Structure 1
Amino acid sequence: MRVLLLAAGLGTRLRPLTDSVPKCLVLIKGQPLLEIWLERLTSVGFGPFLINTHYLSDQVETFVEGCACRDQISLVHESELRGTAGTLNANLDFFQGEDGLLIHADNYCLADLRAFQQAHLSRPSECLVTMMTFRTEVPSSCGIVGLDERGVVVSFHEKVPNPPSNLANGAVYILSREFFDIMKSKLSAAEDFSTQVLSQLVGRIYSYETKEMFLDIGTPESYKQANQ
């Protein structure tokens, strides 16, 4: 299964750490975050990979040149950030009309990726996307999802003061071929995946909750937690 790894972000909240290194390459227990993703994905048979770059892109290019799986990796540089949905829309052909993974590569995730894929294969027939979710200790800082009894997403609560639960969107998705058709026909102008795409698919997104380690390492506090 093909994988688009979003790795172009500025990492503003992690400064000064990200003044000299892109967020996707910060070290978690001595290992670059992007390397952790690639090792875990290749170990269960995912690939090839497309990685977008922008901030300190030369460092990402150098990193990829040294990767064990470099022959499976393509890079696409964005001179101006397209936004998460904009990047997806610009690279739909990469997926070749088949189901694929979309991953925000600045999260530290130790989820069971085989189980995630199996959840997608057994999703309700009306669902076009399978979203990884996790339990967060700070719900007000995350996009919180509401589910029905089958695990289908019925509501989103994006960084609101008192969300109804602590079940958060992990920004890791398996996208169906039918979803790609909708992106092309109805959502081709979207720039932000969370607010402009997912919001249009309420009732058509299945959820998979990981019980394993999952952290948005967007702040110095969460980065420190990931390294404990």
Structure 2
Amino acid sequence: MEAFILAAGLGTRLRPLTDTKPKALVEIKGVPLLDIVIRKLINAGFTRIVINVHHFAGQIISFLNSRKNYGVDIIISDESDKLLDTGGGLKKAAIYFTGKNPVLVHNVDILSGVDLKEFYRLHIEENNLITLAVQKRKSSRYFLFDEEKNLYGWMNEKTGEKKIVREPEGKTERLAFNGIHVVHPEVFNYFPEREIFSLVEFYLELASQKNLPERNKISYIEHTDSLFMDLGRIENLKKAERYL
């Protein structure tokens, strides 16, 4: 099982903590966020983990070396020279995956109760091109799905921005994204030529294409009853301490 941890962000919402360290090494009760995610992945059975780095990249590399890569295959995708956003980060890291297995993508600043092994299994069982972990919860941004559980758009409730990329089928619903998703290796064949782009815009571009196989839809698995905390915000760090 293969996974990709998005850890290259600048962590601007966590300043001043990230003035001297990367977001991935910000701690909760002395435990770095990166450590939490890596251990959860290993416990779920992931044996190859690619991590992208940019902000204070050397600190993350030294941290991993001090722990001997946790005894698994950990590979660094170095974005020190240029931050590539989430989509560009996955595109650059694609060469480190076997191309045979789905890849679970996990934000480094997410604390969740999602069973990663089961989520990965269900993605394979449902034969999706992309499976997003989502919840019915209050958020400023939502993915929009139709009755067939197909992605058809995205919206930012705070700004009023809305992107509809295709006509939905039947009833629709909006769901908040948990920062965890699984992608079929076929996705790597659809990356745009541009170097810097977000996964959200990439997924919306894919959803708009009519030539994708019907079975390979961009869908979701709901985890509304599971724990979710965005640890990219300082006010949530203390709240998270009671869960560790």
User: What TM-score bracket applies, with the shorter chain setting the length?
Assistant: 0.7 to 0.9
Larger radius of gyration: 2
Say whether the 8 Å CA contact 2:129–2:186 is kept in structure 1: yes
Tell me the residue number matched to 1:3.
3
Tell me the residue number matched to 1:113.
116
Matched, 1:151 2:149: yes
Tell me the residue number matched to 2:169.
none
What is the rounded CA distance, in whole Å, between the counterparts of 1:15 and 1:75 in structure 2?
24
Residues 12-33 of structure 1 deviation map (CA, whole Å, 9 limit, x = unaligned): 1111121222111111233111
1:135: Cα distance to partner?
3.9
Say whether the 8 Å CA contact 1:29–1:227 is kept in structure 2: yes
Say whether the 8 Å CA contact 2:133–2:220 is kept in structure 1: yes
Tell me the residue number matched to 1:40.
40
1:82: Cα distance to partner?
1.5
Number of equivalenced pairs: 220
When structure 1 is superposed on structure 2, of 101-110 and 164-173 the one drifting more is 164-173
What is the rounded CA distance, in whole Å, between the counterparts of 2:137 and 2:58 in structure 1?
33
Going from structure 1 to structure 2, the CA distance change for 1:9 and 1:105 (only over 3 Å counts) comes to same
Tell me the residue number matched to 1:88.
90
Matched, 1:219 2:233: yes
Give aligned-pair identity as a percent.
30
1:153: Cα distance to partner?
2.3
User: Aligned to 2:198, which of 187, 193, 196?
Assistant: 193
Give the 4+ runs in structure 1 shifted more than 4 A.
Answer: 161-166
Going from structure 1 to structure 2, the CA distance change for 1:87 and 1:151 (only over 3 Å counts) comes to same
Say whether the 8 Å CA contact 1:101–1:174 is kept in structure 2: yes
1:120: Cα distance to partner?
0.3
TM-score w.r.t. the length of structure 2 is 0.80
Say whether the 8 Å CA contact 1:5–1:49 is kept in structure 2: yes
What is the rounded CA distance, in whole Å, between the counterparts of 2:25 and 2:89 in structure 1?
20
1:149: Cα distance to partner?
3.1
User: Aligned to 2:187, which of 179, 182, 196?
Assistant: 179
1:119: Cα distance to partner?
2.0
* Residues 68-147 of structure 1: pairs in structure 2 closer than 5 A: 69-78=70-79, 79-98=81-100, 99-123=102-126, 125=127, 127-137=128-138, 139-140=139-140, 143-147=141-145
Say whether the 8 Å CA contact 1:120–1:206 is kept in structure 2: no
Tell me the residue number matched to 2:213.
none
TM-score w.r.t. the length of structure 1 is 0.85
What letter is aligned with 2:202? Answer: V
Gaps of 5+ in 2: 163-171, 209-216
What is the rounded CA distance, in whole Å, between the counterparts of 1:153 and 1:165 in structure 2?
10
Going from structure 1 to structure 2, the CA distance change for 1:81 and 1:166 (only over 3 Å counts) comes to same
Gaps of 5+ in 1: none
1:100: Cα distance to partner?
1.1
1:89: Cα distance to partner?
1.4
What letter is aligned with 2:110? Answer: N
What letter is aligned with 1:29? Answer: K
